[in-house]
């Protein structure tokens, strides 16, 4: 008798647990919370993300938890032109959270076609929501913009260079010229090689010319020789 009673209680507990689990899974998602990681400018907005989900028949608050395919939502978000990564999960309150990392532009191609070069060296379309303050890239297209990536990537990681370099122009022979902010001379960089050496030489030149009050005396600064800076006076 006691054995039967114990089996009955065990069965009842299993039934109640299963029923509660079913009720939990069949409950609708109460809220969708989209969070953009890091304190960054929005190249894609929360409204745009919600619109994307709806256009793909994923009006999430109308879907129950059991039906929801989190992996599908993540893939959909990661395929967006402005999104680098997305992690989607449900919390205990029945709220769906999407943690989104945006792609980060480091240069902007201007000319016949306009687009960004992102931090991974890939082409990134312009955003209708925000324009990044990054060096402008002249003379580039989809096929050759990868040539300048090592140079732009180095500049973005250097505070001094980011402050002073506003543009990069592609010349013949795979050589490049830099445009400077508030300085009346161009910087001939040459080929994308010996980048740290060339920029260290430029910094030494800049500090010396600034100290001697001679920054306005030059019309061209040539870094292509690597171990020296050759200046042309006005």
Share of residues in the chain with pLDDT > 90 (%): 50
Say how far apart CA 21 and CA 16 lie, in whole Å.
8
Confidence at residue 56, expressed as pLDDT on a 0 to 100 scale: 63
pLDDT at 121: 96
Beta carbons of 144 and 150 less than 8 angstroms apart: no
* Per-domain residue ranges of the chain: 29-102, 105-233
Answer for the pair 101, 84: CB distance below 8 angstroms, yes or no: yes
- pLDDT tens-place string over residues 90-146: 776 767 788 999 999 999 999 888 999 999 999 999 999 999 999 999 999 999 999
DSSP 127: P
Domain 105-233: what homologous superfamily? Answer: Cell division protein FtsQ/DivIB (3.40.50.11690)
Q: What is the reported pLDDT for 211?
A: 93
- How much is the pLDDT for 92? 67
Mean pLDDT value of segment 181-188 = 89
Name residues whose C-beta falls within 8 Å of residue 6's C-beta, 6 or more positions apart in sequence.
Answer: none
Sheet holding 31-36, edge to edge: 31-36, 95-102, 83-90
Give the residue, 149 or 37, on which the prediction is more confident. Answer: 149
Q: How far apart are CA 164 and CA 34, in angstroms?
A: 36
When mean pLDDT is compared across 95-99, 151-155, 211-215, 217-221, the lowest value belongs to 95-99
Single pTM value for the model: 0.79
Which one is the CATH code of 29-102: 3.30.70.100, 3.10.290.10, 3.10.20.310, 3.50.50.60? 3.10.20.310
The reply to whether domains 29-102 and 105-233 share a CATH topology is: no
- Between 24-33, 117-126, 155-164, 220-229, the lowest mean confidence (pLDDT) is in 24-33
* Helix axes of 70-78 and 46-55: crossing angle, nearest 10 degrees: 120
- The listed range with the strongest mean pLDDT (23-37, 92-106, 194-208) is 194-208
- Check whether 60 has a pLDDT greater than 80: no
Average pLDDT over residues 141-165: 95
């Amino acid at each position: 008798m006691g054995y039967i009673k114990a089996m009955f209680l065990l069965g009842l507990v299993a039934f109640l647990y299963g029923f509660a689990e079913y009720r939990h899974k069949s409950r609708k998602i109460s809220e969708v919370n989209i969070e953009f990681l890091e304190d960054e400018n929005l190249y894609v907005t929360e409204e745009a993300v919600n619109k994307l989900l709806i256009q793909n028949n994923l009006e999430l608050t109308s879907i129950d938890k059991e039906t929801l395919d989190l992996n599908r939502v993540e893939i959909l978000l990661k395929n967006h032109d402005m999104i680098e990564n997305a992690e989607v999960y449900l919390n205990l309150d029945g709220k769906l959270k999407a943690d989104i990392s945006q792609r980060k532009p480091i240069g902007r191609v201007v000319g016949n076609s306009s687009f960004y070069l992102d931090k991974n060296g890939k082409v990134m379309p312009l955003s209708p929501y925000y324009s990044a303050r990054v060096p402008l890239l002249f003379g580039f297209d989809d096929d050759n913009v990868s040539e300048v990536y090592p140079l732009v990537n180095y500049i973005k990681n250097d505070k001094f260079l980011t402050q002073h370099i506003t543009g990069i122009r592609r010349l013949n022979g795979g050589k490049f010229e830099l445009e400077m902010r508030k300085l009346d001379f161009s910087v001939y960089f040459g080929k994308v090689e010996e980048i740290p050496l060339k920029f260290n030489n430029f910094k030494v030149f800049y500090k010396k010319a600034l100290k001697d009050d001679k920054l306005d005396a030059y019309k061209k600064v040539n870094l292509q020789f690597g171990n020296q800076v050759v200046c042309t006076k006005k």
